[in-house]
Amino acid sequence: MFIYKLTKPSDPMSVYIGKTKQTLTKRKWGHNSNSKIKSHTKLYQWYDDTCEIELIEICIINPRIREMEIVQEHIDRGYTVMNTQDGRHILDPIANKKKITNKHNANRTPEYIKNMNIKARTKNK
């Protein structure tokens, strides 16, 4: 699974983190198509054809969890993340029913994520 980042040259502190089995070229094409039919969403209000796609890493084990960790790493570094879901439901089932917002992301310390990641991996075995 490829974990990737979309960036916009005119807004370098805003990113979208995603994962795909497709090539990055095909995935970017998919974002281009989706931007025309899902223009009401947060991502596609931000997205335009100047956005660039970049491979972050190839992940074989628990790509959903790793994607969430990368989202959190970007939030911790001060980026605005365009993702509307950060994988919280994977690591924190109790919060699954709550809407995910940036104010919730601010409470996610690296230690908390690490502990929840261990619990999630144990549960998935």
Residue type, 1: M
Given the candidates 3.30.2010, 3.40.1440, 3.40.50, 2.60.40, the CATH classification of the domain at 2-123 is 3.40.1440
Predicted local distance difference test score (pLDDT) of residue 52 = 97
Look at residue 10 and tell me whether its pLDDT is greater than 60: yes
Predicted local distance difference test score (pLDDT) of residue 83 = 87
Predicted local distance difference test score (pLDDT) of residue 100 = 41
pLDDT above 70 covers a percentage of the chain that reads 67
Q: Collect all residues with Cβ–Cβ distance below 8 Å to 9 and sequence separation of at least 6.
A: 50, 52
The per-residue pLDDT for range 80-116, each reduced to its tens digit, is: 999 876 555 544 544 444 444 444 455 556 666 666 6
pTM: 0.68
Predicted local distance difference test score (pLDDT) of residue 93 = 45
Could you give the CA distance from residue 70 to residue 73 in angstroms, rounded to a whole number?
5
Q: Where are the domains of the chain?
A: 2-123
Q: What is the mean pLDDT of the chain?
A: 80
User: Three-state secondary structure along 42-97?
Assistant: HHHHHCCCCCEEEEEEECCCCHHHHHHHHHHHHHHCCCEECCCCCCHHHHCHHHCC
Predicted local distance difference test score (pLDDT) of residue 28 = 96
- 50-54, 69-73, 77-81, 106-110 — which is least confidently predicted? 106-110
Look at residue 63 and tell me whether its pLDDT is greater than 80: yes
CA 99 to chain centre: 16
pLDDT top residue among 16 and 109: 16
